[in-house]
Amino acid sequence: METIQPTAAQGMQQMISQVLNSWEGQNKVVHTFFAKHADGISAQEVAPGRNRGIYLLGHLTATSDGLLPLLGFGERLFPALEDLFLKNPDRAFAEIPSFETLKQHWEKVNEVLKTNFATLTPEQWLERHTKVSEADFALDPSRNKLNVLLSRIIHQSYHAGQLAFLTPKNA
Amino acid sequence: METIQPTAAQGMQQMISQVLNSWEGQNKVVHTFFAKHADGISAQEVAPGRNRGIYLLGHLTATSDGLLPLLGFGERLFPALEDLFLKNPDRAFAEIPSFETLKQHWEKVNEVLKTNFATLTPEQWLERHTKVSEADFALDPSRNKLNVLLSRIIHQSYHAGQLAFLTPKNA
């Protein structure tokens, strides 16, 4: 059986699809974690003196929400989360949104991102993101939308590894 | 200033370069962590009842070493690590290699991988890895070398998030 070589345009599409699948996969890991665990678990610190599960959920939601302006899709859906979960550490505020509210925000952000991601061609993933000027981008073409997505996949996995500690060891 | 559109072939090259940069970046995170911390830190559990830092170093080294056969570059450099750090949990063996030895193995594996990665064209990254048959690959072309690398970047970041807990909180 002979393997059919894809054209370069198909190759680009294939690569982007795989990166998007990695993104979706990471979203699913976080979704599954918080769907499985009740409020009680999310209120615990992932390790002694470290962030609580609920803070990490807010942190990941606020980070993903920031992809909307960064990739040129529009404004943040939940701008209040930035102050609560990005600019300040856990426990900086006496009141934060409930676990249920944050889970809904998380799903909404991912849904809107997915819709917007689907509109980008592979070539557009290689275009600059909104925080880099045209001049700086000319100097470093890797400062593109794909790079932002790769770094967010890595960031999400980093925290998923920490969330895993809230699951009892022999569960 | 007009942006010059890359050709599809250049686009593929750009995408692969960025994924490889992500890989290198994650290797650097782990390298920097273990270069900075002495034996004492690596002997500690990353969270109560969880893996020790030294086990995670062995685990990441053994995982990366497995990329050599999986991507068709040859045999594992340190096959003994597979039993110690992949097939068995932490503390299954009374004796494991020293922290210094594992650090050397880690650097060596990454060096050999880097040399081999540099020989692959973007098209070759889209070819099947050695654990999938030609027939299965025809059914799912995403079972390629790029996908293996993406999943290993994610895996490494997952454990990097856990290693971070060995660093004192206000360091």
Q: What is the pLDDT of residues B72-96, one digit of tens each?
A: 999 999 999 999 999 999 999 999 9
Cβ neighbours around A131 below 10 Å, total: 11
Contact: B150, A22; criterion CB under 8 Å: yes
Task: Confirm or reject contact between A124 and chain B (CB < 8 A).
Answer: no
Residue of A nearest to B5 (CA): A123
Calculate mean pLDDT across residues B24-50.
91
Contact: A15, B126; criterion CB under 8 Å: yes
Contact: A15, B17; criterion CB under 8 Å: no
**Higher-scoring residue by pLDDT: A6, B137:** B137
Predicted confidence band of residue B169 (pLDDT cuts 50, 70, 90): confident
Which chain B residues touch A141 with a CB distance below 8 Å?
6, 14
Does the ipTM surpass 0.90? yes
Instruction: Calculate how close chain B gets to A122, using CA atoms only, in Å.
Output: 8
Task: Confirm or reject contact between B151 and chain A (CB < 8 A).
Answer: yes
Q: What is the pLDDT of residues A141-165, one digit of tens each?
A: 999 999 999 999 999 999 999 999 9
The candidate with the shortest Cα–Cα distance to B33, out of B169, B164, B171, B152, is: B164
Calculate mean pLDDT across residues A95-100.
95
The pLDDT assigned to A76 comes to 98
Q: What is the pLDDT of residues A45-81, one digit of tens each?
A: 999 999 999 999 999 999 999 999 999 999 999 999 9
Q: How many Cα neighbours within 13 Å face the side chain of A114? A: 13
Average per-residue pLDDT for chain A? 94
Calculate mean pLDDT across residues B149-167.
97
At A23, which amino acid appears? W
The pLDDT assigned to B4 comes to 60
Calculate mean pLDDT across residues A70-99.
97
pTM of the shown model: 0.95
B 59-88 near A (Cβ less than 8 A): none
The candidate with the shortest Cα–Cα distance to A117, out of A154, A79, A153, is: A153
The proportion of chain B whose per-residue pLDDT surpasses 70, expressed as a percent, equals: 95
Calculate mean pLDDT across residues B105-116.
98
The pLDDT assigned to B108 comes to 98
Q: For residues A156, A162, A163 and A166, what is the CA-based torsion angle, rounded to 10 degrees?
A: 180
The pLDDT assigned to B171 comes to 52
Predicted confidence band of residue B168 (pLDDT cuts 50, 70, 90): confident
The pLDDT assigned to A81 comes to 98
